Amino acid sequence: MARLLRLVEKRAYIKKIEEGKRKQQETDLVPYLHDDCVSNILVRLPLDSIQRSRFVCKAWFNIIDNAKFIAAHLRRAESVLIFVSSPRTETTMVPILPEKPNVVSVEARLNQSNSAFFLEQPLVSAASKFSVQFIEFKDGKSLIREYNISCLGKIRASCNGLILLDNKMKKGGLILMNPVTRKLVPLPLGTLFPQHNESYGFALSSVTGNYKVVHLFIDNLGYINCEILIIGKKSWREVDGPSFGLIRWFGYCPVSAIGALHWIPQIDHNDYIVSLELEEEKFRQITLPKSCRTYDRIVEVSGLLGFVTHDEVNQIDVWILKGLYGDVWIKQHSITVGCILDMVPLFSLRIKGEMVFKRDEDGSFYVYNFQLKEMTKVEMLNGRVPFSASCLTHVNSLVSWCGTNGAQDM
């Protein structure tokens, strides 16, 4: 019996040794990859794959959460159009909490610390609940994608993947959010004013690295007031606004380029733009190379300021301003194929460099390739953008903001 027991123990020991050798051999077959190599692979994955890769292991989480990785991903990210749409038309009242389990409500998440909020959920009109979506443009086709986020407010501005949302739970308030990471934080209240008489700009200071929110509003006497909030600070700061009468209309969102925010001050027959230098925080007037008409726009083009004009019915010119001083515009391109008078320039793709237009008549999209000199009508692969939806240039990123005290993960 003792002999049999020793034999069993010996066989178990040999089996354990052989198992250990086998595992070591398998480990030796797996090549070691340096963190830089892993990072270089992960940064090329689609954004949803990167988000899932966070939870593969602690090492990958640390790589993806690193500031250098986030900056590298931002440099590779292509421009999209972000917008909110209401899928409902009925006036029935529904809770703020989303009905679908995979959809996150901005307002519910913002108020999650308030237990009374869940015990007595506010009811809102179903038609007032928006879905946050974006449009991708690739190879002459477009695709509408979901963030699976619902909200009550509209998007006011976008910068580096961060958006400003109206805070409908606090009158006149704003919410800063990254719709990809679903981090958000409410911003301090500024000056309350009717929405149609105000404008918000959002940009990153290249010198300080701070995100700045600029709020312009026209008072009852017609004077333009300005206040600025540095993200992470507790209050807005008043600065001198542009001269009286310089801006009479806030129909277009400002464009961020060459270290400034730029406004078109009226809808038609306009000979200048109004710019705010982000560092000096001073307004100046910049003369346009020609009068701005109804379908003309300013856009950011590879970090520079572009002015896209309809020279004739069959020609569109692209002017470029490289600096804030001197007002020296250079005509860089003349588009002579596929032009239609009501083609409104929306933005320039930051990686491919193509320019996206939208027809005012039917809402169809067109893309112009400057290298091939081709204008292509975009094929919509799924759905359509609501005609009344306001689309903003955006980029899907992992970027966060400075001064993240109070930021929440969804």
Domains in the chain: ranges and CATH: 77-85+103-109+129-395 (2.120.10.80)
Lowest mean pLDDT among 28-42, 141-155, 304-318: 28-42
Question: Tens of pLDDT along 38-97?
Answer: 778 888 888 888 888 888 788 888 888 888 988 889 999 999 999 998 765 555 555 566
Q: What pLDDT was estimated at residue 3? A: 67
- Total-model pTM: 0.84
Closest CA to 235 of 215, 209, 259, 260: 215
Which residue would you say has higher pLDDT here, 261 or 341? 261
Closest CA to 140 of 392, 349, 350, 360: 349
User: In the prediction, which pLDDT does 23 show?
Assistant: 61
pLDDT at 408 (0 to 100): 45
Greater confidence, 300 or 60? 300
Decide: residue 308, CB within 10 A, 0-12 exposed, 13-18 middle, 19+ buried.
buried
Per-residue pLDDT at 388 exceeds 80: no
Whole-number pLDDT of residue 358: 95
Would the pLDDT of 410 be above 50?
no
Question: What integer pLDDT is reported at residue 38 of this predicted model?
Answer: 77
How far apart (Å, rounded) are the C-alpha atoms in residues 258 and 300?
9
Please tell me the predicted confidence (pLDDT) of residue 48: 80
pLDDT of amino acid 403: 45
Average pLDDT on 380-386 reads 81
Q: In which band, very low, low, confident or very high, does the pLDDT at 102 lie, cut at 50, 70 and 90?
A: confident
> How distant, in Å, are the alpha carbons of 78, 318, 339 from that of 153?
25, 34, 35
Q: How far is CA 44 from CA 40, 48, 70, in A?
A: 7, 11, 12
Distances (CA, A) of 93 to 75, 97, 154: 43, 12, 19
Question: Tens digit of pLDDT for each residue in 280-292?
Answer: 999 999 999 999 9
Give the separation between CA 310 and CA 294, rounded to whole angstroms.
Answer: 9
Tokens of 4: 């049999």
Task: Convert 30-97 into a string of H (helix), E (strand) and C (coil).
Answer: CCCCCHHHHHHHHCCCCHHHHHHHCCCCHHHHHHHCCHHHHHHHHHHCCEEEEEEECCCCCCCEEECC
DSSP code, position 23: H
Nearest to 180 by CA among 39, 51, 43, 350: 51
- Specify the higher pLDDT residue, 36 or 77: 77
Q: How many residues does the chain have?
A: 410
Strand ranges (E), 219-259 = 224-230, 237-239, 255-257
Strands (E), 121-223: 123-125, 130-138, 141-151, 155-159, 162-167, 173-178, 183-186, 198-204, 211-218
Over range 317-325, report the average pLDDT.
Answer: 92
Average pLDDT of 321-343?
90
Mean pLDDT of all residues in the chain?
84
pLDDT digits (tens, 9 = 90+) for 220-249: 888 899 999 999 999 999 999 999 888 888
Burial (CB < 10 A; 0-12, 13-18, 19+), residue 141, is middle
Q: Which of 51, 79, 74 is nearest to 136 (CA)?
A: 79
Distance of alpha carbon 214 from alpha carbon 344, whole angstroms: 25
**Which of 26-40, 125-139, 176-190 is least confident?**
26-40
Which residues are bridge partners to 365 per DSSP?
A: 358
Q: What span, in angstroms and rounded, lies between the C-alpha atoms of 53 and 248?
A: 49
Helices 67-76 and 35-42 pack at an angle, to 10 degrees, of: 30
